[in-house]
Amino acid sequence: MCDTFDLIVVGGGPGGYVAALRASQLGMSVALVESTHFGGVCLNWGCIPTKALLRSSEIHHLLHELGTFGLSADNISFDLSKIVGRSRSIARRMGGGIAHLLKKTKVTTFDGRAKLAGRSGEAHQVAITKDGAAVATIKAPHVILATGARGRQLPGLETDGTLIWGAREAMTPKELPKRLLVIGSGAIGIEFASFYRNMGSEVTIAEVADRILIAEDPEISAAARKAFEKQGMKIITSAKVGPLNKGENEVSTTIESPTGKVDLTVDRVICAVGIVGNVEDLGLEGTKVQVERTHIVTDGFCRTGEPGIYAIGDVAGAPWLAHKASHEGILCVEKIAGRSPQPLHPLNIPGCTYSRPQIASVGLSEEKAIAAGHKVKVGRFPFIANGKAVAMGETDGMVKTVFDATSGELLGAHMIGAEVTEMIQGYVITRTGELTEAELVETVFPHPTISETMHEATLAAFDGPLHI
């Protein structure tokens, strides 16, 4: 017997479980298939537990800066097992919350791996197995693939779980490495570098590109590098990392760059060199679903080349962000339900890096805006001129805005500093609502807040800032 649903969602990460919840809200009968934990990599091994780790490391850093605030403390120390334990317990708690929501909304869940198994009339059949044994075969006219992605493995830089870490090992260390090499300077690599440096590790970052945080505006990237190096990180760009030679409890390698060769010996290596989509063993053979560079090709409404098959989140390609996956899940389901959602505009998706200092952005960089043919007006405002930032002792930072000089459209916004990941949504709303500099200029920003830098950076692009 084959149970029939309106929708089958394969994968319970931030895209899949949100799609299932929204579909249930809209009155659909929904099946969600998940092979490990609800919440996916994001909740269990990414977004949430890393933020818990970073919070502990930020407090550790502040405890060593107490004199700045007229405070003192003796015998400052930490228990790494408790720091890691707190992170894991938060992940478990949030995962349990998702399970409760799915049950509350009457989503039928299956524990196992799903594979497309052909058609039955107008419906797609999905076979579910667990540890090689058949669990069930279900069918639905609509199937959303939300299988996520995993860390990329490069020849000579393969993780081994002991000396050469991927993300999972990096967030569950048994002891703090004194010397650490981080290969890759995207958000994942930078966040781990920030955590371990805050906790006292000697950190070296190797990046193959000519600058760190290549997805960010070059000016912000340069400011981030300056801040990280001020903290004591060693950063090598345009780097070629040689083979990783493993000893009993250390790793040695040679890093080549335009500045010369560096022979390096460290206790642990973290590889954060990109991700690949989980497209294997999904039964895509014989369908019209296209896969390019390990990611499923979709249109603006997450539809694949096969009618009734959709893909969302990391498996559907960049940007690899949990909030992008969740939004895709919602718009995909609403399109299936006959509503009229707007297709997702990639340039309206914010990017956030939760290092110290934080980095956040949306839209085009100045460089890309000019390359796209825009005549631009650019505004900048430093945190050091903001009263709240000075009072907090968080003066390292800036906000940069890029406007179209003719229309006043906000083309991009780029921020570095304390709490900018909480502030970027103001600029996201501006872009989503197709507002201009006029609305931003006329907006009343509360005082004293760091968000006032957003107002000043807008003024700076036009008539000039008030407080510098």
**What is the Cα–Cα distance from 224 to 351, expressed in whole angstroms?**
15
Instruction: Tell me the H-state helices in 259-417.
Output: 322-336, 366-371, 387-392
Asked about 37 being catalytic, the answer comes back as no
207 among annotated binding-site residues: yes
Active-site position among 64, 345, 447, 467: 447
The pair of structure tokens assigned to 59 is 């407090």
285 among annotated binding-site residues: no
Nearest to 318 by CA among 435, 442, 187, 444: 187
185 among annotated binding-site residues: yes
Give the strand pairing for 179-183 and 202-206.
parallel
Contacts (Cβ under 8 Å, ≥6 apart) of 269: 157, 163, 164, 165, 180, 181, 182, 183, 244, 251, 253
391 among annotated binding-site residues: no
89 among annotated binding-site residues: no
76 among annotated binding-site residues: no
Strands (E), 59-122: 108-111, 113-120
184 among annotated binding-site residues: yes
189 among annotated binding-site residues: yes
| DSSP of 403-468 | EETTT-BEEEEEEEETTHHHHHHHHHHHHHTT-BHHHHHHS---SS-TTHHHHHHHHHHTT--S--
Q: How far is CA 98 from CA 43, 117, 148, 173, 312, in A?
A: 10, 28, 17, 26, 19
6 among annotated binding-site residues: no
Main-chain phi, psi angles of 86, to 5 degrees: -60, -45
188 among annotated binding-site residues: yes
Cα separation of the two ends of the chain? 72
How many alpha carbons lie under 13 Å from residue 213 in its C-beta half-sphere? 30
| DSSP of 220-255 | HHHHHHHHHHHTT-EEE-S-EE---EE-SS-EEEEE
User: Hey, which residues are catalytic here?
Assistant: 447
Residue ranges of the annotated binding site are 51, 184-191, 207, 274, 314
Residue ranges of the annotated binding site for FAD are 51, 314
Residue ranges of the annotated binding site for NAD(+) are 184-191, 207, 274
